[in-house]
Chain A
Amino acid sequence: DGGITQSPKYLFRKEGQNVTLSCEQNLNHDAMYWYRQDPGQGLRLIYYSQIVNDFQKGDIAEGYSVSREKKESFPLTVTSAQKNPTAFYLCASNSGRALGTGELFFGEGSRLTVL
Chain B
Amino acid sequence: SQQGEEDPQALSIQEGENATMNCSYKTSINNLQWYRQNSGRGLVHLILIRSNEREKHSGRLRVTLDTSKKSSSLLITASRAADTASYFCATVFNTNAGKSTFGDGTTLTVKP
Contact = CB atoms under 8 A, between A and B. Distances in A.
Contacts of A40: 104
Interface residues of B, number: 25
Interface residues of A, number: 29
A43 B104 CA distance: 7
A100 B41 contact: no
B105 A103 contact: no
Nearest to B4: A42
Nearest to A9: B40
Interface in B27-71: 30-31, 33, 35, 40-45, 48
Interface in A96-115: 98-109, 111
A51 B72 CA distance: 31
Given A42-B3, A104-B90, A98 B98 contact: yes
Nearest to B107: A40
A33 B97 CA distance: 13
Contact of B31 (A45, A48, A101, A108): A101
Contacts of B40: 88, 109, 111
Contacts of B31: 100-101
Interface residues of chain B: helix, strand, loop or mixed (majority): strand
B39 to A, nearest CB: 11
A107 B43 CA distance: 8
Contacts of B33: 103-104
Given A101-B30, A106-B43, A107-B42, A42 B102 contact: yes
* Listed residue (A90, A100, A109) with the most chain B CB atoms within 10 angstroms of its CB: A100
13 contacts: A42-B103, A42-B105, A43-B102, A44-B102, A45-B101, A100-B31, A100-B99, A101-B31, A103-B33, A106-B44, A107-B42, A109-B40, A109-B42
Interface of A: 4, 6, 33, 35, 40-45, 48, 56, 58, 88, 90, 92, 98-109, 111
